[in-house]
Amino acid sequence: MQNKAKRGTSAHVEMSPRRVKLQSTLVTPLRGATSPLGALRPDAGAGDQAREAQSAGSARGTAERMPRERSGVSGFSVSVVIPVRNGAATIAACLKAALASRYHDFEVIVVDDGSADGTAEIAGRYACTLIRLPTSAGASRARNVGAFHAKGEILFFTDADCLLCENTLAAAVERLTSANRNTVIGGTYTASPGDAGFFNAFQSVFVNFSEGRGLGSGRDSGDADYIAAHAMAIHAQTFRESGGFTEHYLPILEDVDFSHRLRRSGYELLMDAGIQVRHLFNFSLLGSIRNGFRKSKFWTIYSLHNRDLLADSGTASHGLKLNVAILFGSILALLLTIGRGSLEPAIAVCLLMALNILVNRGLIAAFHRTGGLAFAISATVYYLLLYPLTVGMGAIAGALSYRRYAPLLEVAG
């Protein structure tokens, strides 16, 4: 495998710098298969453009024959796996950034999950391996398919709306290969988003701070409750032995489920602040509210099943949960003030808000470092007064719909 961005070749076809041949591989499930990675094969109709498929056993055997130790980072090949569905707006920028990586030995695999907006045609213009699923099967399925077809010794998962920095792959490989073999490494978003706008900046700072709490800056790393699939580095052999991401699962949080399964099996999860991707959000106020509501809803469902609703976990932090509780408590106190004409509830609200600011002072400082005083004030007001309202409503919706999704979690567990 070579760096296609510099050499002008893809993993399987020769191409000139001016003309890129579209490589399209259709993958369909095998009926009756129980293992996600054992349930894949190229469609017979893909013809000469289909990659020759390996069985799960032969893929694992290949990984086992790979050298366990290398001198330095450069000896390890990397497969960047990018699932995408209807991502025409971002896939070009995503691939340009990935192919501009300074790491010397990598391939980029795009798995198109039944897009209907021209995503595959755009991806086909770039030096990547394009795998096309005939119908949408979800992000978990797409990631598993990409990993099954990967040639690299290390898998790096990211999303189609994420932009790798030039040193992202090198940092991920260095950290992974210097750690224990039974380790999975994660990164986070850059503090500044890939697109301008207040709500984009708010979300990027919020995720960067929440996922990197306690890590410091630069190359510092520490234990993580989960590794997000927007920046996940894992040995290919480890991934295949794990069975991959759970398919037919909740619409989101498949990476959290995967991380927790690995940890229960004895693997270590480490977050590294030096491994970053720049995210394209395209958030308006409504988009930010919808995002907060949706994630809170499904996180609540997942947490109720795991019985860890109050756990301090990445973006579902103690700080955010306290923020939600304080806002709803403050609303109740203000209602009591109106009903009784007493000032005590209003005083209680002021004290609660002061406590909230104290607990979340680290995030507020991150707002200031990233966007200055004006942004910090606006972001803090949004975080304290509106964002927790939508997160709280999402949590209520999740609790009310838990029974509906419980069967999916039982199968996964």
∠ CA 311-293-299 to the nearest 5 degrees? 30
pLDDT > 60? residue 237: yes
- What was the pLDDT predicted at 2? 58
156 and 119 in a common domain = yes
pLDDT > 50? residue 10: no
Choosing from 254, 283, 312, the residue where a domain stops is 283
Q: How far is CA 280 from CA 102, 182, 184, 199, in A?
A: 21, 32, 25, 11
149 and 201 in a common domain = yes
Mean pLDDT, to the nearest integer, of 380-388? Answer: 97
What pLDDT digit, counting tens, does each position of 297-332 carry? Answer: 999 999 999 999 999 888 999 999 999 999 999 998
Confidence class of residue 20 from pLDDT cuts 50, 70 and 90?
very low
Q: Which of 256, 81, 77, 258 shows the shortest CA–CA distance to 158?
A: 81
232 and 129 in a common domain = yes
Q: Which of 135, 124, 123 shows the shortest CA–CA distance to 90?
A: 123
- What was the pLDDT predicted at 215? 56
Q: Name the residue type at position 17.
A: P
CA distance 311 to 372: 31
Residue showing tokens 């990409």: 146
308 and 335 in a common domain = yes
Q: How many domains does the chain have?
A: 2
Residue showing tokens 């920028």: 93
- What was the pLDDT predicted at 115? 95
235 and 104 in a common domain = yes
Choosing from 267, 283, 299, the residue where a domain stops is 283
Q: How far is CA 412 from CA 190, 245, 306, 359, 397, in A?
A: 32, 10, 12, 35, 22
- What was the pLDDT predicted at 14? 26
pLDDT > 50? residue 44: no
Q: Which of 130, 250, 131, 245 shows the shortest CA–CA distance to 184?
A: 245
Choosing from 250, 283, 316, the residue where a domain stops is 283
108 and 64 in a common domain = yes
312 and 165 in a common domain = no
Would you state the structure tokens that stand for residue 198, as one six-digit string?
């207040």
Residue 161 DSSP SS3: coil
CA distance 270 to 183: 7
- What was the pLDDT predicted at 37? 58
Rounded to two decimals, the pTM is 0.83
pLDDT > 80? residue 16: no
273 and 204 in a common domain = yes
192 and 67 in a common domain = yes
What pLDDT digit, counting tens, does each position of 67-94 carry? Answer: 333 334 558 999 999 999 999 999 999 9
188 and 304 in a common domain = no
269 and 328 in a common domain = no
372 and 232 in a common domain = no
What CATH number is attached to the domain comprising 219? 3.90.550.10
Strands (E), 122-260: 129-133, 154-157, 162-164, 183-189, 221-223, 232-235
Q: What average pLDDT does the structure give for the chain? A: 83
Domain boundaries, position 328: 291-412
Confidence class of residue 248 from pLDDT cuts 50, 70 and 90?
confident
